[in-house]
Structure 1
Amino acid sequence: MKRKALGAVIAQAAQAGIGLLLQILVARLLGIEEYGRFAILYGVVIVATAVVTGLVGDSLVVLERSQRAIRAGLELMLLITSVLLAVGSFLIAWLTGFSDVLESALFALALAAFAVEEIVRRMLIAHLSFVRTALTDLAGFVVALAVILTVHVTGTLTLAAFLGGIAAGQVAAAFFGWRLMPRSERHLVGLRGADLAAVWRYGMWRGLQQVLRPSLFTVLRLLVLAGAGLTAVGLLEAARTYTSPLILVISGLSSFLFVRFADQHKAGAGGSVREADRVVLFLLLGTVLMSVAAVVLIPWVSPLLFDVQVDPLAVIAWLAYGMSVAIVTPYGALGAVGGRQIAVFVIRLSDTILAIAAAVVMIALGAEASTLPFALAVASMLGGLGLRALVVSRGRPERPAP
C-alpha cells in the first residue's frame, strides 16, 4: 500500500510540476500581467477538466466498465462533454473580447485535449499504474516545451503560442498514454446502446463536486481582477503556484485513496474511517513541515521562479488552504465511493459558497488580495469536518450507483 501511495504522489507530482513549469515560463517570458491573463484561461481549462474527471474519470473507476453498454456510455459522455466545453469556452473568450479569434481557438483546442488526456490518465490510475501515468505527463510536456521554445527562438512568443504548445503536448500525451494502457483497455466500442444514464447518475454528482475547487479559484481570480487588476491576479496566482507542491501531495494521495476505497466497496468491504483519519493526520503533519520550509525559502526561491518576490502573507494564506484540503479529501473520497456522492457534493457546495461569500465581504471591506485565501481555508475546514461527520454517521447511506 505504501509503495502504491508513493507512486500516486509521484504521478501527481509529475502533473503538477509540469503545470508549475509552464506557469513559470509564462511569468518569466511574457511578464506578470500576461501571466495573470494566462492564469484565468488556464483556470477555466482546469475547471473543464474537472468536469470531465468527475463525469467520466470517477465513473470508470466505480462502474463496471467491462460491460459494453457502460463502456460505450463512458465514451459518449467524454465526446459530448469535451466538445460542448471546448465550443462554449471558445465563444465566451472570443465574444467577451478577452482573447482574439486565434487565441480563443487554441484555448478551446487545449481544453479539449486536456479533457481527453485526463481520461487516459484516469484509466492508468484505475490500474494503479502511477509510473506510466507520470511518463504520460512527461511525454506531453516535452512536446509542449519543444513547440514553445521553437516559437520563442524563431519568432515572437505570445500567449497564443503557449496555448498551442500546450494543446500539442496534451494530444501527444493522450496518444502515448493510450499505448501504455493494458491491451484489454485499449479498445473502443461502438456508441450504439450506450448506457449514458448510468454514467450520468453517478458521474453528475462527482463532476459537480470536482468542479467546485477550480471554480472557486477562478471566481477568486475574477474578483481580484475586478478589484485590483491583472497584476494583483498574477501576484496572488504566483503565491498559489509557489505552494502547489503541497497540494500535489494531497491530490496524489486522494487519487490513490479513491481507487482503493472503490476497490474495497466492489469487494463488499466498506472503506475504513480509521484509515481516513490516519491519512488526515499524516497529511497535516506533512503540511506543517512543508509550510515551514516554503516560508523560509521565499526570499531565494520565488525571485528565481517568477522574477518577483511573492507576498509572504499570501503564501501563508495558501498554505493554510492546503491544510484544509488535507482534511477534506480523504473523507470526501470515502463518502463518494460508498454511494453518498450527493451528500458529499452538498457539503462541498456549501463550503464553496461560504468561501465565495467571505471573499466578497473581505474585498468590500478593503482587505488585501493576499489575505483572501484565509477565507477559503476556513470554509474548507468546516466542510472537512462536515464530511467526517457524514462518513461516521450510522444513517442509512444513499443507494450506490449500479
Structure 2
Amino acid sequence: MKRKAVGAVIAQAAQAAIGLLLQILVARLLGIEEYGRFAILYGVVIVATAVVTGLVGDSLVVLDRASRSIRAGLQAVLLVTATLLAIGAFLIAWLTGFSDAVEALVFAVALAAFAVEEIVRRLLIAHMSFVRTAVTDVCGFVVALAIILGVHLADALSLTTFLLGIAAGQVVATVIGWFLVPRGDRHLVGLRGADMGAVWRYGVWRGLQQVLRPSLFTVTRLLVLAGSGLVAVGLLEAARTYTSPLILVIGGLSSFLFVRFADQHKAGRSGTVREADRVVGLLLLGTVAMSAIAVVLIPWVSPLLFDVTVDPLAVIAWLAYGMSVAIVTPYGALGAVGGRQIPVFLIRLSDTLLAVGVVIVMIMLGAEASALPFGLAAASLLGGIGLRWLVLSTGRSENPGT
C-alpha cells in the first residue's frame, strides 16, 4: 500500500512538473503580461477539468462501471459535459473580447482535450496504475513541448499557438493512456440505455466540489486584475506556480486516498477519522519541510524559472494555503466515499464563499495582492475543521456504542 501511495505522489508530481514547465515557458517566451492572460485562460481550463473530474472521474471510481448502463451513462455525461463546457468557454472568451475568434476556438479545443484526457487518467488511477498515469502525462508533454519550441524557433509563437500545442499534447496523451488502461476496462459501449441519472446523482456534488478550488483561484485572479492589472496577476500567479508542486503532491495523495477509501467502502469497511488524522499529520510534516526549502531557494530559483524574482511574502502566503489544503483533503475524501458528498460539498462551498469575501475585504482595505492567499488559507482551515467534525459525527452515528 505504501508503494501505491508513493506511486500516487509520483504521478501527481509528474503532472505538477509538467504544469510548472508549461507556465515557465509562457512566462519566459511570451512575457509576464501574456503569462497573466494565460493564467486566466488556463485557470478556466482547470475549472472545467475539475467539473469533469468530479462528475465523471469520481463517479467511475465509486459506481459499478462494469454495469453496461452505468458505463454508457459515464460516456454520455462526459460527451455532453465536455461539449457544453467547450462551447461555453469559446463564447465567453470571444464575446468578452478577452480573445479573438481563433484564439477562443483553440482555447475551447484545448479545454475539451484536457477534459477527456483527465477521464483516461482517472481510469488508470482507479486501478492504482500511477506509473502508467505518469507515462501518459509525460508523453503528452513531450509532444506539446516539441510543437511549442518548433513554432518558437520559427518565430511564430503566440498564446494561440501555445494553446494549440498543449491541445495536441493532450490528444496524444489520451490515446496513449487509453492503451495503458487494463484490457478488461478498455472498452466503450453504445449509449442506448445509458443511466445518466445514476452518474448525475452521485457525480454532480463531486463535480461541484471539485470546481470550488480552481474557481476560487480564478475569481482571485479576476479581482487582482480589476484592482491591480495583468502584471500583478502574473506576479501572484508566478508565486502560486512556484509553490504548486506542493499543492499537486497533496492532490496526488488525495486521489490515492479517495480510491482507497472507496475500495474499503465497497468491501464493507470504512476508513476512520484516526486514519485520516494520521494522514493529516504526515502531510503537515511534509508540507513544512517542502515550504522551508521553497523559501530558501527563492532568490536563486524564481529568476531562473520566471525571469523575475517572486515576492517572498506571496510564496509564504501560498505555502500557508498549501498547509490548509493538507488539513482539508483526507477528511473530504473520507466523507465523500461514505455517501456524505452533499454535506462535504456544502462545507467546502461555505469556506470558498468565505474566502472570496475575505479577499474582497482585504482588497478594499488596501492589502497587497501578495498577502491575499493568507485569507484563502484561513477560510480553508475552517473548512477542514468542519469536515473533520462531519466525518467524526458520522462515525459516531453509525457506531453509537463506541
TM-score by length of 1: 0.98
Q: Secondary structure at the match of 1:362?
A: helix
CA contact (8 A) 1:355 1:375 kept: yes
TM-score by length of 2: 0.98
Partner of 1:387 in structure 2? 387
CA contact (8 A) 2:16 2:249 kept: no
Report the CA distance between 1:395 and its aligned residue: 7.1
Residues in 1 aligned to 2:377 and 2:105: alpha-carbon distance in whole angstroms: 35
- Equivalences for 1:350-361 in 2 at 5 Å? 350-361=350-361
Residues in 2 aligned to 1:124 and 1:395: alpha-carbon distance in whole angstroms: 30
User: Is 1:107 aligned with 2:116?
Assistant: no
Q: Secondary structure at the match of 1:243?
A: helix
Per-residue displacement from partner, 1:182-223 (whole Å, max 9, x unpaired)? 111111000000000000000000000000000000000000
Report the CA distance between 1:397 and its aligned residue: 7.6
Partner of 2:152 in structure 1? 152
- Equivalences for 1:81-120 in 2 at 5 Å? 81-120=81-120
Residues in 2 aligned to 1:318 and 1:60: alpha-carbon distance in whole angstroms: 32
Report the CA distance between 1:31 and its aligned residue: 0.3
Root mean square deviation of aligned Cα: 1.0
Partner of 1:218 in structure 2? 218
Letter in 2 for 1:287: T
Partner of 1:372 in structure 2? 372
Letter in 2 for 1:200: W
Partner of 1:181 in structure 2? 181
Quickly say closer, same or farther: Cα 1:276–1:4, change in 2 above 3 A.
Answer: same
User: Is 1:207 aligned with 2:207?
Assistant: yes
CA contact (8 A) 1:339 1:397 kept: no
Residues in 2 aligned to 1:323 and 1:162: alpha-carbon distance in whole angstroms: 32
Partner of 1:121 in structure 2? 121
Quickly say closer, same or farther: Cα 1:32–1:351, change in 2 above 3 A.
Answer: same
Letter in 1 for 2:352: T
Which runs of 4 or more aligned residues in structure 1 lie more than 3 Å from their structure 2 counterparts after TM superposition? Answer: 394-398
User: Is 1:80 aligned with 2:80?
Assistant: yes
CA contact (8 A) 1:15 1:134 kept: yes
Q: Secondary structure at the match of 2:264?
A: helix
Quickly say closer, same or farther: Cα 1:151–1:397, change in 2 above 3 A.
Answer: farther
Gaps in structure 1 of 5+ consecutive residues: none
Report the CA distance between 1:155 and its aligned residue: 3.1
Letter in 2 for 1:213: R
User: Is 1:17 aligned with 2:17?
Assistant: yes
Residues in 2 aligned to 1:17 and 1:159: alpha-carbon distance in whole angstroms: 20
User: Is 1:281 aligned with 2:260?
Assistant: no
Report the CA distance between 1:156 and its aligned residue: 1.7
CA contact (8 A) 1:12 1:134 kept: yes
Gaps in structure 2 of 5+ consecutive residues: none
Q: Secondary structure at the match of 2:347?
A: helix
CA contact (8 A) 1:12 1:251 kept: yes
User: Is 1:37 aligned with 2:37?
Assistant: yes
Partner of 2:293 in structure 1? 293
Letter in 2 for 1:113: A
CA contact (8 A) 2:179 2:186 kept: yes
Residues in 1 aligned to 2:394 and 2:83: alpha-carbon distance in whole angstroms: 42
CA contact (8 A) 1:77 1:196 kept: yes
Report the CA distance between 1:396 and its aligned residue: 8.3
Per-residue displacement from partner, 1:38-97 (whole Å, max 9, x unpaired)? 000000000000000000000000000000000000000000000000000000000000
Per-residue displacement from partner, 1:215-269 (whole Å, max 9, x unpaired)? 0000000000000000000000000000011112111111000000000000000
